[in-house]
């Protein structure tokens, strides 16, 4: 299913990516007519894109009654494209194979209700772009807060909320932020842990400056500190999610240690975390961070602390 059109680059001041090419109405109507055969969920449409001599894989975003094509910086900048520039685009929508019911897995003690601690050599940790979208969905889309937030709490813009954006949109943002399934992606915003090849855990680790709500609304990192909030060399470890059936086995602690190496190897000069002193929750417990080498730098409230490791 191929479509070719001329569009104009637009800038949208929301979560990354910031640049898109809106699909013209006629082509959008044609795409919508065949969307059911290609969508992998949430209205997202996987596509291969050709723009001049540049080719890449991405997904069309549903926007109103039409679609927007996201332009990653890794594509846009080498081509010298900016808002208002006309572009000639060729899209090839990727047909999705018919889904078969998943094979039932044996309910072994290890998978259901086990509290056996997981060791570092048992948990394989990989950058999120090396994981598949199905792997991330297995961790997040199991009911509860992870499937509503999709790790966007600290990334949303003014007046945005879980309710206003909805899980479809927030899940699509996470997919783009991680670049999951694209091993050539130059940046990815998290790590995935595998136990016996099953995706069982996630942690979000990325430059602190990319978390709009953390910089704007969340007071904890800034009280009593003099910090350049826009410094891209300071990273933040903001969220842990462990898949149901694998919790309380030390998976988050292994991911925290892996996040230290991940951030340092990608040029971070420091990594911060903001644990909850009472119940940990998705931001982690103090022990999760201290065991990974972090030290406390401030305690601005009775529930929260700032822990940091400098490289």
Token pair 């943002």 is at which residue?
173
Check: CATH 3.30.1490.20 for 123-310?
no
Tokens of 138: 């297995």
Q: Which pLDDT band holds residue 289 (cuts at 50, 70, 90)?
A: very high
Tell me the pTM: 0.67
Q: Would you kindly state where each structural domain of the chain is located, as residue ranges?
A: 2-93, 123-310
φ and ψ at 109, to 5 degrees? -60, -30
CA distance 129 to 182: 5
The lowest-confidence range among 25-34, 48-57, 92-101, 162-171 is 92-101
Strand ranges inside the chain, DSSP E: 2-8, 10-11, 19-22, 45-51, 54-63, 66-71, 86-93, 123-127, 190-195, 198-207, 234-242, 270-273, 295-298, 306-310
Dihedral angle at the C-alpha atoms of 75, 77, 83, 84, nearest 10 degrees? Answer: -80
- Say how far apart CA 60 and CA 44 lie, in whole Å: 6
Residues 6+ apart with CB under 8 A from 62: 42, 43, 44
DSSP element (H, E) containing 148: helix 146-149
pLDDT in tens, 70-126: 887 778 888 889 999 999 999 888 765 544 554 444 444 444 556 789 999 999 999
- CATH code of the domain occupying 2-93: 2.40.30.100
Predicted local distance difference test score (pLDDT) of residue 143: 76
């Amino acid at each position: 299913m191929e479509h070719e059109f001329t569009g104009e680059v637009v800038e949208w001041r929301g979560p990354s990516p910031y640049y898109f090419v809106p699909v013209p109405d006629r082509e959008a109507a044609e795409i919508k007519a065949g969307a059911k055969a290609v969508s992998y969920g949430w209205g997202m449409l996987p596509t291969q894109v050709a723009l001049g001599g540049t080719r890449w894989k991405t997904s069309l975003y549903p926007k109103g009654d039409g679609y927007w094509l996201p332009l990653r910086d890794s594509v846009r900048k080498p081509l010298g494209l900016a808002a208002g520039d006309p572009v000639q685009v060729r899209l090839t929508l990727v047909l999705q194979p018919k889904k078969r019911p998943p094979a039932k897995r044996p309910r072994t003690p290890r998978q259901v209700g086990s509290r056996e601690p997981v060791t570092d050599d048992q948990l394989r940790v990989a950058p999120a772009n090396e994981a598949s979208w199905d792997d991330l969905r297995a961790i997040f889309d199991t009911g509860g807060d992870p499937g509503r937030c999709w790790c966007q709490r600290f990334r949303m813009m003014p007046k945005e909320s879980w309710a206003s954006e909805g899980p479809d949109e927030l899940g699509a943002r996470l997919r783009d932020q991680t670049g999951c399934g694209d091993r050539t992606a130059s940046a990815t915003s998290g790590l995935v842990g595998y136990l016996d090849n099953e995706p069982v855990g996630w942690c979000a680790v990325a430059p602190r400056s990319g978390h709009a709500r953390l910089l704007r609304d969340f007071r904890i990192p800034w009280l009593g500190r003099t910090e350049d909030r826009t410094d891209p060399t300071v990273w933040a470890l903001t969220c842990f999610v462990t898949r149901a059936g694998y919790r309380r086995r030390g998976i988050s602690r292994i991911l925290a240690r892996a996040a230290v190496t991940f951030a340092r190897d990608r040029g971070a000069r420091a990594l911060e975390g903001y644990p909850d002193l009472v119940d940990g929750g998705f931001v982690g417990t103090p022990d999760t961070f201290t065991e990974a080498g972090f030290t406390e730098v401030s305690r601005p409230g009775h529930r929260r602390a700032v822990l940091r490791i400098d490289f």
